[in-house]
Amino acid sequence: MILLVTAILLAYLLGSIPTSLWLGRAIKGVDLREHGSGNAGATNAFRVLGKPIGTAVLLLDMLKGFLAVNLTLLQHVILPGSEAWMIMKITLGLLAVVGHIFPVFAGFRGGKGVATITGVGLAIHPMAALAAMGVYLLVFLFTRISALGSLLAVLTYPVWMIWVFKSEYLTIRIFSVVVVLLVLITHRSNIQRLVQGEENSLFTKR
């Protein structure tokens, strides 16, 4: 039980590491939330801090989600491969996402969670996550609009998970739908700008 509680706490704290803010302050001397779109995510890091730092932020935010899921290995009570095992992995992953959106280390003002969700997805079902990432890349190459790529990628995620790769876990199928709802909620402002034709490309500073 102690190891389980520890894993839950560590998952949230991992997600709460504000990589974009810490790198922005350390390297550029700026608070990312005061520039560009005001968001502490990887997209705004690319816009404001540049490609090298933006890439580092993206990879580190993905790593947070990936590591959080694998904190399941800290406990030896739940049987690996069981539905309960998968529930725990998804729970730890979602806690990391919550930590990223509401980071305790940054006044509960974080990013929108897409990179961290991607890391969670890669840890839970790599092929479905890679397929969704492929959708993002295709959309981004044609439009240069990161938010549109993220939204279309996540909308296809349940399709990959449920109908293409046919996951045997009911928990994973539910998770794929929860991810869609979560991203739609965190991207409300982006959706509004897309509808109005005002969403900027990735490397356009807002």
pLDDT in tens, 46-102: 989 999 999 999 999 999 999 999 999 887 788 888 999 999 999 999 999 999 999
Whether 201 is in a domain gets the answer: no
Domain count, the chain: 1
Residue 177, token pair as written in the block: 């739908």
Whether 206 is in a domain gets the answer: no
Q: Looking at the whole model, is its pTM more than 0.75?
A: yes
Whether 202 is in a domain gets the answer: no
Whether 90 is in a domain gets the answer: yes
Whether 106 is in a domain gets the answer: yes
CA distance 145 to 155: 16
Q: How confident is the model at residue 8 (pLDDT cuts 50, 70, 90)?
A: very high
Whether 147 is in a domain gets the answer: yes
Whether 205 is in a domain gets the answer: no
145-173, pLDDT tens digit by residue? 999 999 999 999 999 999 999 999 999 99
Give the domain range for residue 151.
Answer: 2-196
Burial (CB < 10 A; 0-12, 13-18, 19+), residue 31, is middle
